[in-house]
Structure 1
Amino acid sequence: MIHPRGIKSLFLLMLLFPGFASAQKDWQDFMKQFPDHLDISLLIQDETGEPLFQQHAGKRIPSASIIKIPILISLMEKVDEEHMHLDSLYTLQASDKVGGAGELQHLPEGSRITFRYLAEEMIRISDNTATNILIRTIEMDYIQHWLREYGYEDTQLNRIMMDFKAIEEGRQNYTSPQEINDILIKLWNGAWLNENSRAEIMHWLKGCADNSTIPSQLPAGTVVAHKTGTLDYVRGDAGIILGDKPLILSVFVEKFDSMEEAESAIGQIALKAFRDFGR
């Protein structure tokens, strides 16, 4: 279920522009090509926030590493307020290291690294050790307060990365297409941060090394600022396709038979969105 403003916008567009209603029907037909067992939640919007197509956009979904987008914005808010400095050094401890994605787990204890490097690696290769250091430094309560302050209820940071005990206890990180899109739209339009910090985040998001989802089927050279997320039961991507007309897009796939099946679906959706709305 999409935000009431989005529903109103869709309804008015369908009334005023018959071509828009036709496009919605085309998209509904397009989505029928995917296997029935796939559970796909998505939202496509333009840079003003107008919805272009949605399916289960209000569904709360385990966020996987897509939660790292609001973590990054919270970090840069602290930088803007001069409570943190990106070039300050952090000393890596053995207790910081966790498995999964990332290279910091392989660095020797005592390595000195900047917070700039931690932020970049959190996005570039989804480094979990870097993410946990940032969560502890920023403070989880601060990040949660930031989300609540701006009205985000579906998007929650309830555990650090690779905390399997927390997952067993039912503490999971969540988001929804509706909310992560809104976060990206506000980031794009400069709602929270100064221009230097906004540009830094966009640079990091453009450097995401996992290009097997939204960017995978787009024309060569198409720039995408995005962050992917992967769990055994969720594959997602949320970002901004920087075509002639910027598109904000998030897609989450559940109940897939293989990761490749989920990634192919996300890639096909992104390509159609780009062709229909991004140029």
Structure 2
Amino acid sequence: MKKSFSSFARYLLVVCVCQWPVSLANGQGALQEYLETLAPETELSFLIQSADGTRLAEYHPDKQIPSASIIKIPILLTLLEAVEKDELSLDDRYRLRSQDKVGGAGALQFQADGSLLTYRTLASEMIRISDNTATNILIDKLGMERIQDWLKGRGFTATQLNRKMMDFAAIEQGKQNYTSPGEINQILLMLLDSKSVSAETAASARQLLAACEDRQTLPARLPQQLEVAHKTGTLDYVRGDAGIIFGKQPLVISVFVEHFQEIEEAEKIIAEIGRLAYESYGN
């Protein structure tokens, strides 16, 4: 009986150790210890990198995941590229139409028809409160194909814009927007590398992302004064956040939790990984 119990105990130990085979840099074990407290059925993927792209911790970083509103990051960068090429100005104005308005996140759906909105306002609202009406106007202005070409031209294949926001007909047809921790991190790293985008574009994007008002995930357990330039995403079955934590050592981090029971539990996991990343690698 003792022999049988001992064998079972060893089996449990192997299961616990192998459940979260996380790659960790610099021998940091706090993150590993935290992950081992999570339920085995937790569907999690994340990537933590330094500003130079060094991978510090990762778990399924190449998994393709429904992006939810995190897809708005490459939409923003495609817009800023068009501004840089003088194809439009952020001060140009758009007249809001009834047919532009969609539900979900955002306040523009409640604005009066005919309201004049600058593209700066549209970009800001797309990131600040994840306004879906603003996002769809920008997709129409830029063209979905152009946004997808922006991604493909930089080698991104997992990150895809295949439908507009709140397009339920497209969803029924199986069309979805996607990303992966690895690719969205790579996009964010461009904002720290002057060779990838212009300094002006990078600064504008960081400023807009820093104004994101959803603070329930990565910023939730960080020092209040710490700047976090990020974009969250939420679906019934996905909660994610991707951004830059500007500690003493800037960190690029994306975390996705899928198929959770309660959204608060997913947010708690993302927030705790953000805190541990900052304390282990960024402080």
Matched, 1:45 2:73: no
Tell me the distance in 1 between the aligned counterparts of 2:227 and 2:42.
Answer: 28
Tell me the distance in 1 between the aligned counterparts of 2:72 and 2:195.
Answer: 18
The Cα shift of 1:200 comes to 1.3
Unaligned 5+ segments in structure 1 are: 1-9, 15-19
Tell me the distance in 2 between the aligned counterparts of 1:27 and 1:104.
Answer: 40
Counterpart residue type for residue 107 of structure 2: E
Matched, 1:260 2:264: yes
Tell me the distance in 2 between the aligned counterparts of 1:36 and 1:62.
Answer: 21
Matched, 1:122 2:139: no
Q: Which one of 189, 196, 207 corresponds to residue 203 of structure 1?
A: 207
The answer (yes or no) to whether the contact 2:31–2:273 under 8 Å persists in 1 is no
Counterpart residue type for residue 40 of structure 1: L
Relative to the length of structure 1, the TM-score reads: 0.91
Please list, as runs of the form range in 1=range in 2, the aligned pairs for 1:183-202 lying within 5 A after superposition. 183-202=187-206
Tell me the distance in 2 between the aligned counterparts of 1:134 and 1:190.
Answer: 25
How large is the Cα RMSD of the aligned pairs?
1.5
Q: Which one of 211, 216, 226 corresponds to residue 222 of structure 1?
A: 226
Please list, as runs of the form range in 1=range in 2, the aligned pairs for 1:17-56 lying within 5 A after superposition. 20=26, 22-23=27-28, 25-56=29-60
Q: Tell me whether 186-195 or 254-263 shows the greater mean CA deviation.
A: 186-195
Matched, 1:152 2:138: no
Structure 1: 4+ residue segments shifted above 6 A: none
Please list, as runs of the form range in 1=range in 2, the aligned pairs for 1:1-279 lying within 5 A after superposition. 20=26, 22-23=27-28, 25-279=29-283
The answer (yes or no) to whether the contact 1:37–1:255 under 8 Å persists in 2 is no
Relative to the length of structure 2, the TM-score reads: 0.90
The answer (yes or no) to whether the contact 2:190–2:197 under 8 Å persists in 1 is no
| Structure having the higher Rg | 2
Unaligned 5+ segments in structure 2 are: 1-21
Tell me the distance in 1 between the aligned counterparts of 2:196 and 2:168.
Answer: 33
The Cα shift of 1:49 comes to 0.3
Tell me the distance in 2 between the aligned counterparts of 1:88 and 1:125.
Answer: 21
Tell me the distance in 1 between the aligned counterparts of 2:262 and 2:46.
Answer: 19
